[in-house]
A and B are shown apart, each in its own frame.
Chain A
Amino acid sequence: MSRNARIRLFWAAAVVFAVVYALACTGLPRFGTRVHPYATRAVAASLRQHTANVVSSVNFDQRALDTLGEESILFASVLGTIVLLRHARDERVGRPRAGRVLPSTRLLGLVLVPVTLLTGVYIVAHGQLSPGGGFQGGVILATGLHMAYVAADYRVLKRIRPLAVLDVADALGAGAFTALGLAGLIAGGAYLQNVLPLGTFGQLSSGGLVPVLNAAVGVEVGSGVIVLLASFLDQAVEVRSANNPGPGGRT
């Protein structure tokens, strides 16, 4: 299809969509309405299960099976990216040169890396109590590690990043979620049912299976994002193809 025809087709479809969507919007419940049947039930169920953070309760207890699908997508796309970005036969690996970093940046990085990693662990561990959880905390853990890339250079990042271990950790995190679901079956309930003791409301150990699943997801997301960024950084900094020879990129 030619470019002009494509754009004309888009405008025709866009007008139809806009009209139908606007009509549909007028039929929706009003914005900011007080009556939310799902919210009321989800909050009640979350309090019954001693989970203070309702979003975590929905994700890891009430709709845990959906979250299993979600983290499977995450795992599959990390796997797909690694396969897509593997080194081809005509590519060779260059040696990245050291970049120049201001001493103040280096000092700030040195201070912030442990602080960020600790924040990540906190967000994962308190997922059942305060805003956060495995997904958010995992991303913070991964970005915390990459502060070493900003504050120092690629070679330092490579040294503190045990990629082989993280590959395995990613798979183990994904597998642990699936395996933890079996606990419900063993206890005589349903798959992914919350069977652990629920604990005291508002305590770190509350929520039963929720904090355990959060930890599994935190490990998976953290290592998954690091592995993902590693394959992209590798392409940008190290790989030199036949039509783009060079001694390796600057970090």
Chain B
Amino acid sequence: MTVLPFLTAGWIFLAGVYGLVTSRNIIQAVGCLAVAQSSTYVLLLTVGYRRGGIAPYFTDTPLRTRTVDPVVQALALTDIVVGATVTALLLALAMQIRKRHGTVDPDALTGLKG
């Protein structure tokens, strides 16, 4: 089954979005967004995998050694950094919502408040 790793990424994404849709707690929803985002790490690393490849650095390995794809690894690194900081920003928003509205249930947030 060579499609299975790709399908795993799609399944993780759907699991995260399902959590986002059903969650009754903003902090839980932020966690679900992180899960949905982590599916892209799986997808990127799956795309870049080369059978028999080693980590893409040549400090103490011969120059002709086959490595896995470094481009997608760099993309995954970008993804992780951006994901972590956006999660922090969303959690800060959640704290302010809790302070101003006294609830973290997204369904209970109906009115605008100045």
* A interface residue numbers (CB < 8 A to B): 3, 6-7, 10, 14, 17-18, 21-22, 25-26, 28-34, 36, 38-39, 42-43, 46-47, 52-55, 57-59, 63, 66-67, 70-71, 73-74, 77-78, 80-81, 84-85, 88, 129-131, 135, 202, 221, 224, 228, 231-232, 235, 241, 243
Contact = CB atoms under 8 A, between A and B. Distances in A.
Contact of A53 (B57, B69, B82): B57
A58 B74 contact: yes
A85 B58 CA distance: 44
Given A25-B3, A70-B78, A70-B82, A17 B14 contact: yes
Contact of B59 (A32, A53, A55): A53
B73 interface: yes
A58 B70 contact: yes
Given A54-B56, A63-B74, A73-B85, A6 B21 contact: yes
Given A10-B18, A43-B56, A66-B78, A18 B10 contact: yes
B71 A131 contact: no
A231 B14 contact: no
Given A33-B51, A55-B74, 11 more contacts: A22-B3, A25-B6, A32-B49, A32-B51, A39-B50, A53-B59, A54-B70, A63-B74, A77-B86, A84-B92, A84-B93
A73 B21 contact: no
Contacts of B113: none
Contact of B91 (A18, A58, A232): A232
CB-based closest 5 A-B pairs? A54-B70, A77-B85, A32-B51, A39-B69, A58-B74
A39 B68 CA distance: 7
Interface residues of B, number: 48
Question: B51, B58, B63 — which one has the most chain A CB atoms within 10 A of its CB?
Answer: B58
Given A26-B3, A81-B89, A55 B14 contact: no
Question: B7, B56, B59 — which one has the most chain A CB atoms within 10 A of its CB?
Answer: B56
A248 B96 CA distance: 19
A84 B96 contact: yes
B95 A32 contact: no
Interface in B1-48: 2-7, 10, 14, 17-18, 21-22, 46-48
19 contacts: A7-B21, A10-B21, A17-B14, A22-B3, A22-B7, A32-B50, A34-B50, A38-B69, A54-B56, A54-B58, A57-B70, A73-B85, A77-B85, A78-B88, A81-B92, A85-B96, A202-B58, A221-B81, A228-B85
Nearest to B51: A32
Question: B82, B88, B102 — which one has the most chain A CB atoms within 10 A of its CB?
Answer: B88
A19 to B, nearest CB: 10
B27 to A, nearest CB: 12
Contacts of A235: 95
B58 A47 contact: yes
Given A53-B57, A77-B89, A85 B95 contact: yes
B109 interface: no
